[in-house]
Amino acid sequence: MFFVAFALWVFASSACGEERDPARGWQNFERAVREERIPLAEALRRIEEFSRILPAAYPARDSGSSLFFPLKGYGLRHVGGKRGEGYRPSRYEFVGPRRRIGHPAQDIFVYDGNQDGLDDRSGKPIEVLAFAEGIVVSAFAEWVPGFSVNGNGLRGGNYLWIYHPDLRLFSYSAHLARLLVETGERVAGGAPIATLGRSGTNAYAERSPTHLHFMLLRLEDMKPVNPYPLLQAARATR
């Protein structure tokens, strides 16, 4: 009986904390999923919880709906493949045994022939922009080449998750260099959120051209959405 009561107390405390600081709560959840520290049933329950908590904390009526191409100075023609064929969701799941299957994203390639992370045309860092107005719900900037602890062995490298209330979508931007925002921060659509880099196990390899890995997941079930049609409608920023 004591253990049951204690478990209920822990659950209630966690839920209250997420209600008070939902962005930080979602980041803690994302880290638990990434590091495989949460059982599948519990993860699915938390997804359902956050589908209620986030819209209540960040109402769509308070957010803009304009879409912006997520790399400054780039556009649709820089998306890999023909007409978005690089999107291959296969049986991808955010949680569970198939969560690393497929490529449920679009890769956007940049002019960086010498792989120094700078735009060959300007010699300057490439700005990653907020796809739409939203709230940063997870930020990771600790990736170091050659290490396999604290997330450094993972493919995404440095990354950002942003929840977009008007779209009811999460955007995930990976292979970043320097983050310009932090968890809990509200960002305007088109605002700089990071600079592009080559962080991540595969992206760091010389065989990989410098690119932004851009993924969209639905709030209600964390299922992937093909970004390409929305990228077609997005405003390019010079």
In this structure, the answer to whether residues 198 and 185 fall within a common structural domain is yes
In this structure, the answer to whether residues 41 and 68 fall within a common structural domain is no
Give the range of the structural domain holding residue 49, as residue numbers without chain letter: 2-60
CATH number of the domain where residue 65 is located = 2.70.70.10
Name the amino acid, one letter, at 205. Answer: A
pLDDT at 155: 73
CA distance 225 to 147: 31
In this structure, the answer to whether residues 95 and 129 fall within a common structural domain is yes
In this structure, the answer to whether residues 109 and 43 fall within a common structural domain is no
Among the candidates 12, 34, 60, a domain finishes at: 60
Among the candidates 60, 76, 107, a domain finishes at: 60
In this structure, the answer to whether residues 76 and 184 fall within a common structural domain is yes
CA distance 224 to 212: 17
CA distance 204 to 144: 10
Sorted by sequence, the CB contacts under 8 Å of residue 121 that are 6+ apart come out as 73, 111
In this structure, the answer to whether residues 115 and 51 fall within a common structural domain is no
| pLDDT one digit per residue (tens) for the chain, 238 residues | 443 343 334 444 455 557 789 999 999 999 999 999 999 999 999 999 999 999 999 999 888 889 999 999 999 999 998 888 999 998 899 998 877 788 999 999 999 999 999 999 999 999 999 999 999 999 999 998 876 554 455 679 999 999 999 999 999 999 999 999 999 999 999 999 999 999 998 898 899 999 999 999 999 999 999 999 999 999 998 8
In this structure, the answer to whether residues 92 and 39 fall within a common structural domain is no
HEC string of 138-157 equals EEECCCCCCCCCCCCCCCCC
pLDDT at 152: 52
CB 99 within 8 A of CB 83: no
pLDDT at 116: 95
Give the number of C-alpha atoms closer than 13 A to the C-alpha of residue 36, restricted to the C-beta side: 6
**Chain-centre distance for alpha carbon 217:** 9
CA distance 144 to 58: 33
pLDDT at 7: 39
Among the candidates 18, 45, 60, a domain finishes at: 60
CA distance 154 to 235: 31
Query: In the chain, how many domains are there?
Result: 2
In this structure, the answer to whether residues 37 and 67 fall within a common structural domain is no
Burial of residue 208, with CB atoms counted within 10 A of its CB: 0-12 exposed, 13-18 middle, 19 or more buried? middle
